[in-house]
Amino acid sequence: MLSSHYLEGCLSNSTLYVPEVFADCICEQLIKKGRVFVLLLTTPYYFQLVRERERERDMGKGGSHGGEEREENMAAWLLGVNTLKIQPFKLPTLGPDDVRVRMKAVGICGSDVHYLKTLRLADFVVKEPMVIGHECAGIIEEVGSEVKKLVVGDRVALEPGISCWRCDLCKEGRYNLCPDMKFFATPPVHGSLANQVVHPADLCFKLPDNVSLEEGAMCEPLSVGVHACRRANIGPETNVLIMGAGPIGLVTMLSARAFGAPKIAIVDVDETRLSVARRLGTDEIVKVSTDIQDVAEEVIQINRAMGGRVDVTFDCAGFNKTMSTALNATRPGGKVCLIGMGHHEMTVPLTPAAAREVDVIGVFRYKNTWPLCLEFLRSGKIDVKPLITHRFGFSQEEVEEAFETSARGGNAIKVMFNL
């Protein structure tokens, strides 16, 4: 029999690791009282239970599967290829610098659809169930003890990436490249298509009174275009070509105009999307084929449509053909910004481009863009509302239908959930 002094020591610990020989008597005296959690060091259950406890404590993943709360929090879980289920989502404990946000608007990104269809995007692979979604805005329901600038009831747009702020890249201000980034719905981190999420307060940006929650959620894709325009130094003397009239191509076009680009042409294979680009204010549209043999002829069409030089090209698709077109269409000394990630590897004419000193610039996500995005929206310099073409509620049937709608493309640009 173990001494009462030893047992009192046990009672001061929430988790007790003991040899199996002592487990029976401790189980009888302590577990029934609900005072400790005993792990048998010599059994395989030890490892399973440790993993479960670590998962529940893991703030980096943003929550865990199941659990009881004051109100059952539900989320859209990616469980396998083409398999989404609304299931309970246990939130992590609210930290002193965190806020708990009730999601009100969540958009579907092309990356979300890619994960649904293939369980991977570039080097990111879904290996276990994951909550989907990262374009989001909501209303604050609880604030941590150290949060000073936000209060319950504030409407906020959420920047979805949590960087470490310790590595050299973070210290240089390029936190979007942080190797330890924890980004909504980038495996293994859970996303935001849920009733509620917990997030750092300094990554939640208060919406101006005249900016809706849906527009707040659109700050995420808009940030990609804003960051790209900053990387390329777009200004009033920069003529811009955009490859791809999907959601990212369109927000890049809107951003380039807001940055002062005097002439913008946009290229796509789809007539419907080109017509949308025209309505949103692009100067020229060029319909192209998917055949890489047509690049030379299409570059002539693009230059004719531009009526002059192409200073910067944004490839918002990321395919062999679009990048080849971009490199050939851009003037000597110009820039090509690669935004899209359609192909993991590409074969493109880099040597001729290098001979013309065409700079190739990578664009990955964004940094420090939310304040400018919100100012563009507040001032009316950018209007993202026409991009939202479809809206759905948050039921199992509607979640499935929304992702099917987004995956089909056609006249769907941005599909938005209203929670």
214-255 residue pLDDT tens: 999 999 999 999 999 999 999 999 999 999 999 999 999 999
Taking 50 as the threshold, does the pLDDT of residue 91 lie above it? yes
Residue with tokens 């398999």: 83
Residues 331-379: pLDDT tens digits?
999 999 999 988 888 899 999 999 999 999 999 999 999 999 999 999 9
Residue 63: predicted pLDDT: 64
| Window from 13-17, 137-141, 189-193 with minimum mean pLDDT | 13-17
pLDDT of res. 342: 84
Q: Which residue is associated with the tokens 């692979």?
A: 125
Distance CA 4, CA 234 (A): 74
Tokens of residue 186, six digits: 């980038």
CA distance 20 to 33: 19
The pLDDT confidence band at residue 289, using thresholds 50, 70 and 90, is: very high
pLDDT band at residue 172, thresholds of 50, 70 and 90? very high
Structure tokens at 55: 């998962």
Tell me the percentage of the chain whose pLDDT exceeds 90: 79
Instruction: State the pLDDT at residue 330.
Output: 98
